[in-house]
Chain A
């Protein structure tokens, strides 16, 4: 259980809905993952589209978190957030402002500018950010409700490329830290939680897995296991072995045949 902007969330797994082959698989995976919050993108109305993702998510007991995916400038992102607020009736936004198509890495200056505008307009802003502790601090200072550093580029499945930076971000943050993007498999999610993240946001690792439902279950367990391990307090790393059996009372036995 943790809080974002005063709102309690039971699940530390936030689901991105990109990449699922249909809404039924998405809903089943969402249930299996135990997620309560799921991201959606805003796109032009397609008259031939069937089914409403918002209705399907609501039926599965999830709330929608609109994102600004596809925006390259602060202006586009701010307008998209306002459109999402109008369409979906939520002032929460996962803020994405991308620098280029190739890496989909955030554009730091546009991101910060958009965050300032949206916070001033009353939004609860959850920014997708680079794994840069200084940028994360600046975003927090503008009033963002969380910071969401990437593990590695969106959809890359490379895991956490810079665990050192992630730890720095976690150590300094006074808002929740949510690892966003890059998770490839369960151990990546567990590592993020062990590093002290409050939650993990992922989509592709589940939606593009050979068996999305089974992977959703694995991710739920990984997030829980990683969190519990962090709370439990791991043993320090040592260079040499430390005997775990008593050194007293060892029998004297012939050592050679």
Chain B
């Protein structure tokens, strides 16, 4: 089991802990459409989600566009 901070909350990840799995766990839309991820403050390109492993204690921010501005 891997324990990470996912969007500010402590979450447990079972099985293979990847960025792709974290995106799903965060409740992102199917396939993570319109979503971007920062792992410990660094952007992880979509193409690397499935192969980027997440370790205990790492921080993930999973973001998408919302209403905002002026």
Interface residues of A (CB under 8 A from B): 16-20, 23, 26, 38-49, 52-54, 64-67, 69, 79, 82-88, 94, 154-155, 180-181, 201-204
Contacts and interface: CB of A to CB of B under 8 A. Distances in A.
Contacts of B26: 44-45, 47
A40 B28 CA distance: 17
Nearest to A42: B63
A44 B37 CA distance: 10
Contacts of B7: 44-45
Interface residues of B, number: 27
A46 B26 CA distance: 8
B27 A46 contact: yes
Given A86-B43, A86-B45, A45 B68 contact: no
Contacts of B38: 79, 83
Contacts of B8: 44
B46 to A, nearest CB: 7
Given A41-B68, A45-B28, 18 more contacts: A16-B69, A18-B68, A18-B69, A39-B70, A40-B65, A40-B68, A42-B66, A43-B64, A43-B66, A44-B62, A49-B66, A69-B68, A82-B36, A83-B37, A83-B61, A86-B43, A87-B34, A202-B70
Contacts of A17: 67-69
B69 A69 contact: yes
Given A44-B7, A86-B43, A39 B68 contact: yes
Contacts of A66: 65
Most buried by A among B29, B33, B34, B69: B69
Interface in B1-27: 7-8, 26-27
A145 B54 CA distance: 38
B50 to A, nearest CB: 15
B67 A180 contact: no
Given A79-B38, A84-B36, A180 B63 contact: no
B27 to A, nearest CB: 3
8 contacts: A18-B70, A44-B8, A66-B65, A67-B68, A79-B41, A83-B43, A86-B37, A87-B63
A202 B70 CA distance: 6
A241 to B, nearest CB: 41
A38 to B, nearest CB: 8
A45 B70 contact: no
B22 to A, nearest CB: 11
Contact of B69 (A49, A87, A203): A203
Contacts of A204: 70
